[in-house]
Amino acid sequence: MFILKPLGEEEIAKVVARALVDPAAGYGGRGIAIAEDDIRYLAYLSFGDARMALNALEMAVQSAGRTEKGIAFTRELLEEAAQKRAILYDKKGEEHYNIISALHKSLRGGDPDASLYWLARMLEAGEDPLYVARRLVRFASEDIGNADPQALTAALNGMQAIHFLGIPEGKLALAQAVAYLALAPKSNALYTAYEEAARDVRENGPLPVPFWIRNPVTGLMKDIGYGKGYRYPHEEADAIVDQEYFPEELSGRRYYRPVERGFEREMIRRIEYWRGLRKKKREKNAE
């Protein structure tokens, strides 16, 4: 494996200068010359990529008008030849994943400015805005969750705006979502909770649903015990019962552990409230 790094502007300028004088693989002997400042400008526009510089040089030569003094190169012509300062972004290569990773980590780190920069890097390079929107929706649940339940709404609104407006009008909607997600309190409690639940599913297989929470659709199902012993919470005080809903093998499992950030503080309070009511019901039933 060879790791390729961007060339410096001085190195790019040497490549361009060599192409101008090489008679076999360049423009040597054709009377084509570019001012040294313009060569350096072309190197600047190429972002360390010699291929981009040579392609831009070829396009500039083909597009430039001829005068008595030779070919007339302008800054505008060089910019156009370099595809208006083409942004390094291979949508199917490593840089694609590097930049989406940078966006995720900037969001997770609570930096709206860096997040907006990486968003702009993708959108200005022609990335599919719906791809970005999908990643924002995922981020809202994975890294924020119930610490700020409105984060998912913000991400979905951004995605809907892209569907409705398209590009370029929808860019600001994604920028609005990105700024909101960056500044939202963070929690991965839902992510870890689901992973733990999924691990139990994989390790324990398809455990049978307890009979008392099965729905007795037919008479036969009712006769063999479907729904027997189920207690309807709305018929109980406080609309809560002390009843097991897990398969017997997983009784008492706890997956969701909210953090003391954002709205999840309220989720902790609610969990403690419901657990307290169930405990009182259990103690009362034991009397």
Which positions of the chain have pLDDT values less than 70?
Answer: 1-4, 24, 28-29, 31, 64-75, 81-94, 287
pLDDT of residue 70: 55
d(CA 52, CA 6): 11
Q: Is 203 helix (H, G, I), strand (E, B) or coil?
A: helix
- In the CATH scheme, what is the code of domain 9-81? 1.10.8.60
Q: What is the pLDDT of residue 1?
A: 67
Alpha helices in 93-207 (DSSP H): 94-108, 112-124, 129-139, 150-165, 171-183, 189-204
Query: Hey, do 94-183 and 202-286 end up sharing a CATH topology, with the first three levels equal?
Result: no
CATH 1.20.272.10 fits 94-183, yes or no: yes
Q: The domain at 202-286 falls in which architecture?
A: Orthogonal Bundle (1.10)
With vertex at residue 281, the alpha carbon angle to CA 275 and CA 283, rounded to the nearest 5 degrees, is 100
Locate the domains of the chain by residue range: 9-81, 94-183, 202-286
Chain centroid, CA 236 distance in Å = 44
Residue range 52-85, pLDDT digits in tens: 788 877 777 777 666 555 566 666 777 776 664 4
User: Quick one: tokens of 283?
Assistant: 């103690």
pLDDT of 146 reads 94
Q: Is the peptide bond before 258 cis (omega within 30 degrees of 0)?
A: no
Using one digit for the tens of pLDDT, what is the confidence trace for 212-258? 888 888 888 888 888 898 888 888 877 888 888 889 899 888 999 99
C-alpha to C-alpha distance for 209 and 94, rounded to whole angstroms: 46
